[in-house]
Structures are given as C-alpha cells and as structure tokens.
Amino acid sequence: MCVVCVRPEWQERERARGACRLCRRAIVLRELAQHGSITLGQDNPPGKAGQVASGQGPASAGAPFDANRAHMARVYDFWLGGKDNFAADRAVADQVAAAYPDIRIAVRAQRAFLARAVHFLVTQAGIRQFLDIGTGLPSANNTHQVAQAAAPQTRVVYVDNDPIVLNHARALLTSSPEGATAYIDADLRDTGPILERATAVLDFGQPVAVMLLGILQGIPDQEEPGAIIARLMDAVPSGSYLALTQIAGDVAADEVAKGVQRYNDQAAAPVAARTHAEVGRFFSGLDLVEPGVVQVHRWRAGTGDVGSGRNLAIYAGVGRKP
C-alpha cells in the first residue's frame, strides 16, 4: 500500500519505493516547482526553463529507494564525510575501508580531480558546456561551481539515477546569472533520453565535456560500458571532451578485490574494478590529454594535492574528440 495515498492497487514492483509512482511523481514535481528544476540566467534564451526536469518519467529512474541496502551515492557521501547516508551504507563503507584503507583518501582525490579536470576544460580547452553523469550528492566544488568560477556563462546538465540525489538536486541547481544548470533523473544506460532532454540546456552543435566520474564501475562488461560512452561521444561535435574515473583493478589489487567483494555482497548494485588497459579502451577514438590515463591523484596534480605520494586505486583520464 502506498504510504502517501494509501492506494492498495499499486504495482508490486513499486512496493520497495515506499510511495506509489503517482505520489512520488507529485512530490518530486512539487519540490521542483518550489525550488526550480532548472536555473537559467537572465541572458539565456527564454523558453527553456522546465524543458529539462527530473520527474518527467518515473519519480526516480534508478534503483528503488531502500535504506537497508548500500547505495553508491550514499556510501561515497559517507567516505567524503557527508551526512546523507544510512546505517547499511556506513557498515559497508567501513568494511570496504577495512579491506582497502586508502579508500577515503581515494574518493577525496577523485573530488580533487573533478575540480582540476573541470578547471582545465574551461580555462585551457575552452569548454562552456558540461554533461555530468553520475553527479553524486552535492559536495564542495560541484562541477558548475568550479566551471562558473572561471567562466560564468558555463551551462551544466547533471544526471543521476539515485532517488536521494534527486531529492538534493535543488542544491545543485544554483547558477551564475550568465550560465545555467539543470538536473535529469535518468540512468546512464538510457543515453537517448538523456541526450534528448539535455538539448533543452546544451547546444550539441558546440563542444560539450562529458563527465563520467565514479560511475562506470557500476556498468558491468556485459552491458558494454564502451558502447555507452561511444553513444554519448557520437552525439557531441569535434572539440568535445570525455573525462572519467574508474576503480583500478591492478593497483593494490588484493585489497581492492577484497573491498569490491565486500561491497558487492551487500550493495544494491555491484561494481567492478578495471585494469589500466581496460580504462584506456574507454577513450578509443579520442586523443588523450597529457598525462593520459593515470592514477587519479597524478592527473595534473601539484605537490600537496590530495593523495600526493600515495598509491591510489582509481584511474582518471581526459580525452578530446578529434
């Protein structure tokens, strides 16, 4: 029975989500109407607000909300010191950290990479549009904040499939007056709808940076993550970029394998570690920006950057579409 409308006839598959689809949709739309599902600056073309909105499909596109199973966004939030997580997330996070103690530094190094990569893309590559898939819960230095600090007119579309991230989307939907931010509730696998809805904010005739940070490990090889990337990069013009990170399977391999096993035993959806060669193949058809695919704390980092001197098991890279 739906906890909101007490409708008895809702579908069985909705049971784990607490409220029925209609109520969840109504709640999300009301929240988005209150807080704005999209923020456009005054100088932006009129008529685009609201064309990109979470809640256009089911209230959440991803795994059903379940506080008793660990979810990637909430476990990551816990490692980063956030408060949007439940006991199940914290238990798994601690067990993974017991197997691979550097995980907390590694995820902070991933956030630092995000900031360095976005800054590079804006200030050196001239990028003014971002499609950030696998947004995560709002943290310090979100993509639009880093980008708009350097180029206020930058437009950012965030995409995530987690219902908790959706609930916090309004925190991401701030923007400089000249730029724009939007949020799409969707699964990375659904590239067609993502690209279609993103056109409300992004001009796919101009270069776009596609960000896939900390998300590809959730796409198993059978689901062909390389083909998903290819579909996204086919949709953007020459001069566009791909930035990604992925858990490494060949750095601290035994500890990482144990950590992945513990996570997969309890989490709502499994993850997979990948080797340097496998991550390199994600960039096929693109020109890798120096220094190529490297450990996340080594990508254009300075001394004193997070993770400096460590041996962190996350790979990172940025590639340009020729």
Ligand X SMILES: C[S@@+](CC[C@H](N)C(=O)[O-])C[C@H]1O[C@@H](n2cnc3c(N)ncnc32)[C@H](O)[C@@H]1O
Binding site for ligand X (CB under 6 A): 72-73, 76, 110-111, 114, 134-136, 160-162, 165, 187-189, 213-215, 218
- Nearest distance, CB of residue 226 and ligand X, angstroms: 15
C-alpha dist (Å) from residue 88 to 67, 84, 85, 134, 217: 7, 12, 8, 21, 20
- Nearest distance, CB of residue 180 and ligand X, angstroms: 19
Which of 42, 222 has the CB closer to ligand X? 222
| 163 three-state secondary structure | helix
Which of 99, 165 has the CB closer to ligand X? 165
Which of 40, 164 has the CB closer to ligand X? 164
Which of 214, 317 has the CB closer to ligand X? 214
- Nearest distance, CB of residue 195 and ligand X, angstroms: 14
- The radius of gyration of the chain from alpha carbons, rounded to an integer in Å, stands at 19
Which letter does DSSP use for residue 274 in this model?
B
Distance of CA 198 to the CA centre of its chain: 15
- Give the contacts of 88 (CB within 8 A, at least 6 positions apart): 67, 68, 69, 70, 266
- Nearest distance, CB of residue 35 and ligand X, angstroms: 19
Bridge partner residues of 245 (DSSP): 316
- Nearest distance, CB of residue 304 and ligand X, angstroms: 20
Which of 72, 289 has the CB closer to ligand X? 72
- Nearest distance, CB of residue 107 and ligand X, angstroms: 7
- Nearest distance, CB of residue 126 and ligand X, angstroms: 22
Which of 183, 283 has the CB closer to ligand X? 183
Which of 2, 55 has the CB closer to ligand X? 55
- Nearest distance, CB of residue 25 and ligand X, angstroms: 19
Backbone angles phi, psi at 190, to 5 degrees: -90, 65
Q: How many CB atoms lie within 10 A of CB 210?
A: 21
Which of 10, 241 has the CB closer to ligand X? 241
- Nearest distance, CB of residue 101 and ligand X, angstroms: 18
Token pair in block for residue 138: 């709002």
CB 229 within 8 A of CB 215: no
Bridge partner residues of 243 (DSSP): 211, 318
Q: Which residue is nearest to ligand X (CB)?
A: 136
Whole-angstrom distance, CA of residue 71 vs CA of residue 282: 24
Nearest to 90 by CA among 111, 112, 109, 67: 67
Which of 2, 92 has the CB closer to ligand X? 92
Locate all alpha helices (DSSP H) within the chain, ordered by sequence: 21-35, 72-79, 87-99, 103-123, 143-150, 163-167, 169-172, 191-198, 225-234, 253-266, 276-281
Which letter does DSSP use for residue 132 in this model?
E
CB 24 within 8 A of CB 167: no
